[in-house]
């Protein structure tokens, strides 16, 4: 049998060249170091995000608009806090609210804070990070009428004064808007009355009781029950003739704003200065150019007082009093007079002219102010 010749074996293909060896110079070392840093940073950030605790909730008895401000809430969150508020009037809190449900109480004056302490039966730490004097929100055409009857007076610095003594004379005479001589801009048949909140529940109206009592007592603080009873008949009509009274100053200011195209429905309202200034800064669309800010003469400068009830409430009080960002926002965005900064200069940056000096008086002692309020609005 013939044998077929075998095919010669082909040589194996050459092996591929080995990959180039990376240089071990400075650039290579730097890239490795950078990669290690990125990896380490990723691990650290992840660990922080996983381990960072949830902000502690601070339950506030009372409410302020600034605590709804996203920027304020961001700063508080950076300190491990978030806030929950309740819609109560200052006097309402001091007398009727179950405080065991809250970490801190905000009072709109030292008088209200002292009333709260009396209820608690003990003295507590208190923080007063900002204040706001009483003010009257009105309109240009109304202010001109008040000027004719001696209630409104333009000051050299461009601010307006609301003369409480002259106003009380109009109330006593039961003067009506339509009776003001030459009134063609607001011939309303209603009586000339400054709209207020209910002094049984709200600090702003209680402060007006204090101001009026000082004026009617010959420029002296009410010092005894006899003096309180003597001025009471002249103060009571300021409230009784208004009819139904709102509980919160924020609600009254809202009524003032909403009624601007209805006559206006509320020609003048007793508010805090910061209600007006914060409105211009944070919600300018809600206000018109003919709205005017006046300062009662005499005035009271009530400080907002924060009374902590728990450690987390104590932390919030300290922050409001000392944190520069919170102080700046309270002043520049929410119109409060703070412990720092130049308030008139800051408001001027927003096109607002505010009083640099005020004629202020002290309220009567708590039990005497209570006597007046309880007689004006029986509960």
Phi and psi of 270, rounded to 5°?
-85, 115
CA 4 to chain CA centroid, nearest Å: 108
pLDDT tens for each residue of 225-265: 999 999 999 999 999 999 899 999 999 999 999 988 777 99
> In this model, does residue 51 exceed pLDDT 70?
no
* CA–CA–CA angle 147, 153, 158 (5° rounding): 125
Rounded CA gap, 370 and 379, in Å?
12
Backbone angles phi, psi at 370, to 5 degrees: -60, -40
Higher-confidence position of 116 and 270: 270
Band (pLDDT 50/70/90 cuts) for residue 45 is very low
Taking each helix axis from N to C end, the angle separating 366-376 and 110-120, rounded to the nearest 10 degrees, works out to: 100
Preceding omega of 188 cis (within 30 degrees of 0): no
The predicted structure's pLDDT at residue 377: 84
Domains along the chain with CATH numbers? 56-132+303-348 (3.40.190.10), 134-301+353-376 (3.40.190.10)
Three-state DSSP class for 297? strand
Structure-token pair, residue 321: 């009093």
Rg (CA), the chain: 33
User: Following DSSP, what letter does each residue of 310-343 receive, concatenated?
Assistant: SHHHHHHHHHHHH-HHHHHHHHHTT--EESSS-H
Label residue 35 by pLDDT band (50, 70, 90): low
Cα angle 283-113-249, degrees, rounded to a multiple of 5? 30
Q: What is the DSSP letter of 199?
A: T
Residue 358 has a pLDDT of: 94
pLDDT at 340: 86
Cα–Cα nearest to 59, from 256, 267, 311? 311
With tokens 């333009």, the residue in question is 154
Please provide the size of the chain in residues: 379
So what's the pLDDT on residue 292?
97
Query: Which residue stretches of the chain are H helix?
Result: 26-51, 70-78, 90-95, 110-120, 140-148, 164-172, 203-216, 225-235, 237-240, 249-258, 273-282, 311-322, 324-332, 343-348, 366-376
Residues 213/364, Cβ–Cβ less than 8 Å:
yes
């Amino acid at each position: 049998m013939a044998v077929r010749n075998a095919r010669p074996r082909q040589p194996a293909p050459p092996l591929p060249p080995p990959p180039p060896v990376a240089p071990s110079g400075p650039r290579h070392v730097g890239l490795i170091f950078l990669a290690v840093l990125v990896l380490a940073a990723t691990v650290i950030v992840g660990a922080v995000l996983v381990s960072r605790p949830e902000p502690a909730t601070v339950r506030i008895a009372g409410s302020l608009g600034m605590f709804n401000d996203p920027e304020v809430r961001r700063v508080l969150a950076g300190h491990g806090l978030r806030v929950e508020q309740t819609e109560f009037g200052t006097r309402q809190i001091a007398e009727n609210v179950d405080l065991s449900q809250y970490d801190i109480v905000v009072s709109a004056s030292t008088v209200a804070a002292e009333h709260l302490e009396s209820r608690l039966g003990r003295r507590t730490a208190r923080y007063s990070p900002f204040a706001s004097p009483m003010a009257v929100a009105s309109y240009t055409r109304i202010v001109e009428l008040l000027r004719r009857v001696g209630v409104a007076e333009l000051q050299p610095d461009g601010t307006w004064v609301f003369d409480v003594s002259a106003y009380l004379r109009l109330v006593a005479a039961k003067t009506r808007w339509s009776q003001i001589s030459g009134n063609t801009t607001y011939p309303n048949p209603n009586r000339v009355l400054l709209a207020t909140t209910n002094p049984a529940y709200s600090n702003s109206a209680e402060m007006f009781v204090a101001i009026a009592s000082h004026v009617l007592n010959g420029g002296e603080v009410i010092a005894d029950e006899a003096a309180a009873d003597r001025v009471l008949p002249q103060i009571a009509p300021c409230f009784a003739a208004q009819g139904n009274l709102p509980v919160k100053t924020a609600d009254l200011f809202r009524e003032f704003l909403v009624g601007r195209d209805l006559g206006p429905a509320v020609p003048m309202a007793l508010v805090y200065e910061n209600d007006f200034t914060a409105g211009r800064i944070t919600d300018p669309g809600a206000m018109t150019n003919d709205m005017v800010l006046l300062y009662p003469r005499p005035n009271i400068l009530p400080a907002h007082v924060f009374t902590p009830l728990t450690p987390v409430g104590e932390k919030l009080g300290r922050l409001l009093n000392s944190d520069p960002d919170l102080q700046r926002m309270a002043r520049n965005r929410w119109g409060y007079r703070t412990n720092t900064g130049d308030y008139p200069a800051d408001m001027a940056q927003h096109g607002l002219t505010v009083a640099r000096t005020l004629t202020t008086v002290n309220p009567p002692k708590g039990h005497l102010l209570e006597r007046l309020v309880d007689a004006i609005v029986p509960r």
